A and B are shown apart, each in its own frame.
Chain A
Amino acid sequence: MTSILAQKPVLAQEEVLRGLQQYDRRAKVQISQMILYPYYFFEYTLRAKSLLKLNGKVACTIDALSGQGALADVQPEFSPSPAKEGGMLPVAVAKDEAKRLAENFIIHTLSQKTKFLTVPRLHLADSSLFYRPFWLAQYRRAAHGQQQLIVDAVSGSYHPL
């Protein structure tokens, strides 16, 4: 069986249900399945000169379906796990393309958020394809019907489908 790198779900089903119900006690929420969503992770060491030096590490993820970038806050932990039969989204962005998108994203963000005179030098320190777990939930309200949601099993953020 093929193995993939994935983040471990931090929030169990019960915690997700409790979390969602705190906003709406009358709704009935049910979790139907877990979905694994693919992202690329890129970590860079950064050096830029200005009046003061700007050194450190910066990292981002690239959505492996839409190519959207996101800044990562802390070093993640990925653990190998067996690939699932269903509920795993296929990768649509190739690794080279993702690398190009990641560099663009990091440079663009740096040019907006930091101040430097010289162009920052980025050195790729680490990269991997990983899967992030999302819970798929059914949200029911009497007289309103039902709606599907995804809940990020690491951060607890949610969004309707």
Chain B
Amino acid sequence: MLSMDGIIFVVYILTLLGIGLWFSRRSSQSSEQYLLGGRSLGPAVTAMTMQTTAMSGYMFMGAPALAFQYGWYAVWYAIGDAGGSIINLAVLGKRIRRMSELLGALSPIEFLEKRFESASVRVIGALISIVFLFAYVCAQFIAAGKAMATLTGFTYEWSLIIGISVIIIYTVAGGYLAVAYTSFVQGVIMVLGVAGIGFLAYFHVGGLTGLNSALEKMDPTYLSIWGKDLAFYGQWGVVLGAILIFSIGYMGLPHVVVRHMSMKSTKTVKGAILISAIWNQFFIFIPYILGLISIILLPDIKDPEMAITQLAYTLFPGLFAALLLSAVMSAVMSTADSLLMQAGTILSRDVYQRFINQNATQQTTILVSRLCILGGGIVGIIVAIYEPPSIFGLAVFAFGTLGNSFLVPYVASVYSKKANYIGCLCAMIGGAATNIAWTSLNLEAATAIHPFLAGLTVSLLGMVIGSQFGNKPSQRIQDIFEQSKNKRFFSKEFDQNIARHLAPEAKNISKFLAKEAESY
């Protein structure tokens, strides 16, 4: 028999399904508008949709659990996360953007492939993305199992199987439901819910001052930057790794880049990105703060990963808490679903079609992609039942592997003229392999060096040593390298609004004009 909360969840999912169906039917009936074309939705809907995508099992369960365990030390990770986009834009952004324009590259991986003039870079990048995607999917699965267990009252194992089955069905057989309006409804509930819990809990403990004095009374080391019981005292390698991990990992995320062309004039929604960026900064810190608050309000909680959920049930009437948890569960579902789809596509196109069956038909490729999703689901269930790692640990591992593979190649691509494809491949493979080995053998405990920092060092060595071998970058790349060093020509605002998707057109027009000039 389903509990009341379980019924709320089912009703919630059915309502989302209804909204999705209604909008997709409306758009498929439209004679003028095309499916997937993504015509403007207005800034509020766009911003809320972007926000929902950023919310995952990690945010709701992993981050508060870390803060619950280590106290204020956990905020190092949030600082790195919040600073990520700033590092990306301010430090590397300008040169990479300029070089991307000159190379006509549309995505980060395509940028590396073109800069290092090697298709292997793309393949290795794809394989490393798979490690990341499956680790992150596994974290979502565990989160789904826990959320379902609270909602249905079943055991974790049964809830996990139900939760993952719902995700798999949603991923491969749900029709075109991923309409922005569904995300919008979810976004509104989650943003209001999390902000509501944050607000109530914050005043409940007497603000930051109240929180800190209560923490100090329980154990003063909760306030230390070195973690509870000074677990990481003097270990700058660990702290540096914590700050860098999220800020850098983002650069290697496998991006789904689909170009869009507006066939009629539209007013561009510039506000959306700004609103979303501000919200992101705000929401990065809330889960950690809620983890700290739960040390005081829920000191006996059995599973710190359920801190936000428990706080919701403590501070809100049951109905609202169940509604929030349903929204969390469906956020987890949509994150897991898009990660699985990406993993399926990468495996079928970049691995199967490239290495195993080059003449594969579209049907076979899609079948392989769907089978990979199913396989991933089954592996996920096994790992999550028999050897469930912490959601936080999985997220750090996933981002660490990405960051270790991609940071050095990105930096070297714009700062070292000598960096070549052998160096890039050594850096990517060396960095990822070191992180995987360091994490699985728990070498952090023996060396006091965060796996991320270890991976970074090996990746750097790989780039320096590897670039001594193989061919030098071609003259064209060397010229582009020199050009991208030039100071930014445009004003900041003008530069930020350049439409990067027009890079291929710009490159072709440039060639055409040069040819025309020659013929005169």
Chain A interface residues toward B at CB < 8 A: 7, 10-11, 20, 23-24, 26-27, 35, 37, 39, 43, 46, 50-59, 61, 63, 65-66, 68-77, 86, 89, 103-104, 107-117, 119, 134, 136, 139, 141, 144-145, 147-148, 150, 152, 154-161
B235 at the interface (CB under 8 A from A): no
Whole-angstrom distance between the alpha carbons of A112 and B176 in the complex?
11
Tell me the nearest residue of chain B to A7, going by C-beta: B263
A66-B37 in contact given A116-B173, A139-B490, A152-B499 (Cβ < 8 Å): no
CA of A41 to CA of B6, assembled, Å: 48
- Interchain residue pairs with CB less than 8 A apart (7): A27-B494, A77-B263, A104-B362, A111-B341, A115-B175, A159-B499, A161-B513
> What residues of A have a CB within 8 angstroms of the CB of B256 in the complex?
112
Contact with A along B104-115 (1 / 0, CB 8 A): 101000000000
Complex Cα distance, B489 from A150, in Å, reads 15
Across the interface, A73 reaches (CB within 8 A) one of B28, B29, B37, namely B37
Which of A37, A71, A103 has a CB less than 8 Å from the CB of B38? A71
Contact of B504 among A66, A72, A73, A145 (CB under 8 A): A66
Cα–Cα distance between A108 and B365 once the two chains are bound (Å): 9
Q: State which of B209-217, B264-272, B448-456, B464-472 sits at the interface with chain A.
A: B264-272
A150 in contact with B362 given A89-B508, A161-B513 (CB within 8 Å)? no
B518 interface residue, CB < 8 Å from A?
A: no
Residue of B nearest to A68 (CB): B504
Instruction: Choose one: B34, B366, B509; the contact of A57 (CB below 8 Å).
Output: B34
User: CA separation between A114 and B43, bound complex, in Å?
Assistant: 23
- Determine which of B260, B502, B509 lies in contact with A35 in the assembled complex, contact meaning CB atoms within 8 Å: B509
Q: Tell me the nearest residue of chain A to B498, going by C-beta.
A: A159
Enumerate chain B residues within 8 angstroms of A86, measured Cβ to Cβ.
516
- Do A24 and B491 contact each other (CB < 8 Å), given the known contacts A70-B261, A73-B261, A113-B258? yes
A20 to chain B minimum Cβ distance, whole angstroms, is 8
A110 CA to B337 CA, complexed, in Å: 14
User: What is the distance, in angstroms, from B320's C-beta to the closest C-beta of chain A?
Assistant: 30
The total number of A-B Cβ pairs within 8 Å is 229
Which one, A35, A71, A103, contacts B362 given CB within 8 A?
Answer: A103
**Shortest Cβ distance from residue A116 to the other chain B in the assembled complex, whole angstroms:** 7
Rounded to whole angstroms, the CA-CA distance of A108 and B346 in the bound complex is 11
Q: Which of B47-55, B82-90, B164-172, B301-309 contacts A (4 or more CB under 8 A)?
A: B164-172
State whether B264 touches A112 (Cβ < 8 A).
Answer: no
Given known pairs A73-B34, A112-B256, A144-B489, the reply for A150 and B262 (CB within 8 Å) is no
B493 within 8 A of A: yes
| Beta-carbon contact of B504 and A51 below 8 Å | no
B342:A50 contact, CB within 8 angstroms: no
- Taking a contact as CB atoms under 8 Å apart, the answer to whether B36 and A114 are in contact is yes
Contacts of B365 in A (CB 8 A): 107, 111
A117 and B173 alpha carbons, distance in the complex (Å): 5
Alpha-carbon separation in the docked complex, A151 to B256 (Å): 25
Q: Beyond A63-B505, A72-B263, A115-B341, list 11 extra A-B contacts (CB 8 Å).
A: A37-B505, A59-B37, A65-B508, A73-B37, A73-B264, A76-B263, A109-B36, A112-B342, A136-B513, A150-B509, A156-B265
User: CB distance B491 to A158 under 8 Å?
Assistant: no
A152–B505 CA distance with the chains assembled, in angstroms: 10
B345 touches A147 (CB 8 A): no
A114/B509 in contact, CB under 8 A: no
Contact of B512 among A74, A89, A139, A148 (CB under 8 A): A89
Known pairs A23-B494, A75-B34; A159 contacts B503 (CB<8 A): yes
B34 touches A111 (CB 8 A): no
Contact in complex: B263, A74 (CB < 8 Å): yes
When the two chains form their complex, are residues A110 and B490 in contact, meaning their CB atoms are under 8 A apart? Answer: no
Q: Which residues of A contact B178 (CB under 8 A)?
A: 113-115
Which residue of A is nearest B487, CB measured?
A144
Contact assessment for A56 and B28 in the assembled complex, using a CB-CB cutoff below 8 Å: yes
Complex Cα spacing A70 to B498, Å = 18
Check: B510 CB closer than 8 A to any chain A CB: yes
**B34 near A59: Cβ-Cβ < 8 Å:** yes
B502/A150 in contact, CB under 8 A = yes
Q: Is B375 an interface residue (CB 8 A)?
A: no
| Interface-central residue, B32, B264, B342, by most chain A CB under 10 Å | B264
Q: Within 8 Å of chain A (Cβ to Cβ): is B95?
A: no
